[in-house]
Structure 1
Amino acid sequence: MAKSWQCVAIVGVGLIGASIGQALLRRGLAKRVVGIARRQTTLRAARRVEAVTNTTIDPLKGVVDAELVIVCTPPDAVVDLVRRTAEHCPEGTLFTDVASTKAKIAEALDGTLPRGCRFLGSHPLAGSEKTGPSYADPNLFEGRVTVLTPTSHTTADDFDVLEAFWSSLGSVVIRMPPEDHDRAVAETSHFPHMVAALLAGMLPEPYFRLAGTGFLDTTRIAAGDVEMWTQICMQNRRYLLQVCRKFGEHLRGLAAALEKGDAAAVRQILTLGKKNRDALGS
């Protein structure tokens, strides 16, 4: 059963953070949601869309009453923010994040926080190439998977609390070790993003007006935040590199089939791709 929170602090009120805040407030799951960001313009936008009840640009002040702190920043900032704010929040505060890389963050924070505070990583598989609180959606997590990545230091109580938290926002919660998570999302998220970026970057400008819906659909995610995706790639480069090599083998197989004029081999590639894509649904 979902806990009713007195105070939740959200560090970073962009699309994901503001959507969490909206969902908490509109579902009556939190009395106070404190939005923390570097810029007042971001905080004003978060207030406009009713994602927060209080705001501050000072993360140390923003967490003083928080029972739960959710860090919704690019991955490189997570560890430092958790460590700094843990010194100023109530004793026993639970921390989580929404970064799409987990292993390095979990390794740095696992069992190391002061004053009874704990960290358990989360990754909601939701969002879009859009950024900022203006695009927030209180139903963003409805029916979407959220991965929790417990470690040997994670207690059953903390896992249960966060499982109930994400479930209360509409998510389907699954658990994976941090390394397994990073290995999987390298294939399902990080590499597809880079393929989209490569395809978009390869397109000569004279062909721009010939780009139809197929090209636009395939490259849509290339419009995502460049700095955040650079950090994601660097944090997960071990597994991303493995997928690059795997894709290279498949690409060489396609090139060989085309060189030979082997229609059967091309058809086999297309058939397997269609079969797997159809199995994923809409």
Structure 2
Amino acid sequence: MAGKQNSVTYRWDTIAIAGVGLIGGSIGLAALERQLARRIIGIGRHPQKLEQAQALGAITDFATNLEDGVAEAQLIIICTPVRFIAQQVCQALAVSNGDAIVTDAGSTKQQIIDQVHQQAGEAAERFVGSHPLAGSEKSGAEHAVANLFLNRSVIVTPTSATNKIAQQQTIEFWQQLGSRTHLMTPAEHDQILAATSHLPHLLASVLAAATPDAALPFVSTGWLDTTRVAAGDPELWTQILQQNQTEVRQSLSHFQSVLEQFSQALDQDQWETLAQILALGKTQRDALGS
């Protein structure tokens, strides 16, 4: 399923990346910089954007057709918006070499993996769900950096049907980019990401939307830090929240219960209770370091 082994590193001959934006472009830059592949083929709908990614050194070749782009690849990485991932994974499994591994970089997992297993049949064993916990509110290959995944976590979500060789080689690939890998079930991933990514994005967007226009000229670092991720693509985040709706609702319900405690403490002059909630928040944040 992979390319040749040499004394320096484990190399793939050809890696295909569908969606050469911030994540896909950074994967390409890192893989080429670390000499993990001879060729990186970028796949997308817009030749001009692919030419830009090629000029930036994120890919060596490109194709505007998925079938052409994955034909010679041993590893295929789908980095498109979440609502397209399952369809493109199934297409890649159908038209690629029978030994090719397919993984993704999507922020949701259970719905994608369920759809792939329903539609791809036995070929679904070659799909290994992945989610690199890296990125920013920016998008596009022009923002890609080769060290984006260095010392960052990547969650890998195999199922009982996943081919063990494909699973291990996917894990090794992310580790070769400098990442720390963690195995979870798709359900565990979605539950954790609802609390640590999806709900925070929702809250940042709500805070930004609720801020009066007259107050905006006076915002400072607290508001800017808290709302930074609200600058992300609204369409993309609507897709993520839709796919992980159940888990996000559960996280939101828990948040609302804590917020209600805070509100009651504020209304009833219960400053000790309010201080305890603030202290717990500080403890949680301080535990992560800077």
Tell me if structure 2 keeps the 8 A contact 1:86–1:113. no
Determine helix, strand or coil for the equivalent of 2:151. coil
The answer for the alignment partner of 2:196 in structure 1 is 188
Give percent identity, aligned residues only. Answer: 41
Q: Which amino acid aligns with 1:42?
A: K
The answer for the alignment partner of 2:251 in structure 1 is 243
The answer for the alignment partner of 2:276 in structure 1 is 268
The answer for the alignment partner of 1:210 in structure 2 is 218
Q: 1:119 to 1:204 in 2, by over 3 A?
A: same
The answer for the alignment partner of 1:139 in structure 2 is 147
Is it true that 1:13 corresponds to 2:17 in the alignment?
no
1:70-149 to structure 2, matched below 5 A, reads 70-110=77-117, 112-113=120-121, 118-149=126-157
Q: CA deviation at 1:251?
A: 1.0
Query: Which runs of no fewer than 5 residues in structure 2 stay unpaired?
Result: none
Q: CA deviation at 1:3?
A: 2.9
Tell me the TM-score normalised to structure 1 length: 0.97
Residue from 229, 240, 255 that aligns with 2:263: 255
Tell me if structure 1 keeps the 8 A contact 2:81–2:106. yes
Q: CA deviation at 1:156?
A: 2.3
Tell me if structure 2 keeps the 8 A contact 1:91–1:117. no
Tell me if structure 1 keeps the 8 A contact 2:78–2:105. yes
Q: Which amino acid aligns with 1:94?
A: I
Tell me the TM-score normalised to structure 2 length: 0.94
Is it true that 1:172 corresponds to 2:174 in the alignment?
no
Tell me if structure 2 keeps the 8 A contact 1:146–1:173. yes
CA distance in 1, matches of 2:165, 2:98: 16
Q: Which amino acid aligns with 1:269?
A: I
The answer for the alignment partner of 1:226 in structure 2 is 234
Q: Which amino acid aligns with 2:260?
A: R
Q: Which amino acid aligns with 2:215?
A: Y
Q: Which amino acid aligns with 2:48?
A: T
1:3-42 to structure 2, matched below 5 A, reads 3-42=10-49
Q: 1:116 to 1:92 in 2, by over 3 A?
A: farther
Q: Which amino acid aligns with 2:126?
A: R
Query: Which runs of no fewer than 5 residues in structure 1 stay unpaired?
Result: none
Q: Which amino acid aligns with 2:67?
A: L
CA distance in 1, matches of 2:10, 2:240: 31
- Cα RMSD of the aligned pairs, angstroms, is 1.4
Q: CA deviation at 1:116?
A: 8.2
Q: CA deviation at 1:141?
A: 0.2
